[in-house]
Amino acid sequence: MLTTKKNVKTSSKEPFEVIPEVKLGTKERIVETSRVLFNEHGVEAVTVRHIADAVGISHGNLCYHFPRKEDIILRHYHAVVEGMNAQVAAWNPEHLNLSMILEALLKSYELQYHHKFLMVEFVNIMRRIPEIREHFRSLFEVRKQQFGFVLMLLQHKGSIKGMSEIERERISLHNYLMGDFWMSESEILYTGEEAEKCRFYAHLASALLYPYLTARGRKEFDAFWGSRIAHEQSSY
């Protein structure tokens, strides 16, 4: 049963509480509270009235900021996109290396986890909100070009072996297939520590590159993940 402000209880696993107004404005409180509810209960089970009750505002007040539930979902989608754009914008081609790419991959998985309902309900949300679907299709082409550029740059720097255009295309597609659906897979099969979930799947995704790495690249790859998986146990 979905809880609201009147009967919600906090827990150490998924803490939920009405966000103090002194810390965030009403719009930001709506966004943060909806994220917690969507992550816990799913998009279909949560209504705008549930969100309004949990925030402690009227239904009309919430609709003043977000007329539709889809508008709230769209806000979360753009938060993820903007977070990933910021990582790409911070790359300096002159200093870019494999460790920086692996770090960006890990951070992107952590960002997705923060808004995990978007990834768990990826297909349904794309069907429900055409604006997100069309934007994602356009973004996908941009991301493929960016990833292809990164592969060529790492090849130039001696971390990756020579690749054909077809191989770069295939790796890009594998990378984004994994990135879009790892969360759904983890909800079904992952049995490891929750705190290790993002690292586990980011490491798994990055392993797609391993056969193409040079000796130098493999050394850098192993050094990056070595300290992060020193205490890894089986997660299946």
Distance in angstroms (rounded) separating the CA atoms of residues 96 and 122:
31
The count of domains in the chain is 2
Q: What is the dihedral of CA 140, 141, 143, 145, to 10 degrees?
A: 160
Nearest Cα to 224, choosing from 234, 153, 207, 208?
A: 207
pLDDT given for residue 1 in this prediction: 52
pLDDT tens digit at each of 236 positions of the chain? 565 444 333 333 443 444 444 467 999 999 999 999 999 999 999 999 999 999 999 999 999 999 999 999 999 999 999 999 998 888 888 899 999 999 999 999 999 999 999 999 999 999 999 999 999 999 999 999 999 999 999 999 999 999 998 999 999 999 999 999 999 999 999 999 999 999 999 999 999 999 999 999 999 999 999 977 754 544 55
CATH number of the structural domain spanning residue 63: 1.10.10.60
User: 46 and 120 in one domain?
Assistant: no
87 CB-contact burial (10 Å; exposed 0-12 / middle 13-18 / buried 19+): middle
pLDDT given for residue 91 in this prediction: 87
Q: Range of 20's domain?
A: 1-67
User: 51 and 135 in one domain?
Assistant: no
User: 110 and 33 in one domain?
Assistant: no
**Contact 207/195 with Cβ under 8 angstroms?**
no
CATH number of the structural domain spanning residue 133: 1.10.357.10
